[in-house]
Amino acid sequence: MRVYVCAWEMREGSSVMGDATPQGSVEDQLRDDLKEAARQRDQVRMDTIRMALTAFRNEEVARSRQALTDQDRIALLDKQIKQRHEAAELFRTGNRPELAEKEEREAQILAAYLPARLTDDEIRALVTRLIAEQGKDFRKVMPLASKETKGRADGKRVSEIVRDMTG
pLDDT tens readout for residues 17-39: 333 334 558 999 999 999 999 99
What is the pLDDT at residue 117?
A: 86
For the domain bounded by 7-111, which CATH number is listed?
1.10.1510.10
What is the pLDDT at residue 48?
A: 96
Instruction: Measure the CA–CA gap between 28 and 68, rounded to whole angstroms.
Output: 13
φ, ψ of residue 135 in degrees (nearest 5): 95, 180
CA angle 77, 29, 16 (to 5 degrees): 80
What is the pLDDT at residue 8?
A: 37
| Tens-place pLDDT, residues 100-130 | 999 999 999 999 998 888 999 999 999 999 9
Instruction: Measure the CA–CA gap between 107 and 152, rounded to whole angstroms.
Output: 16
Against a cut of 0.75, is the pTM above it? no
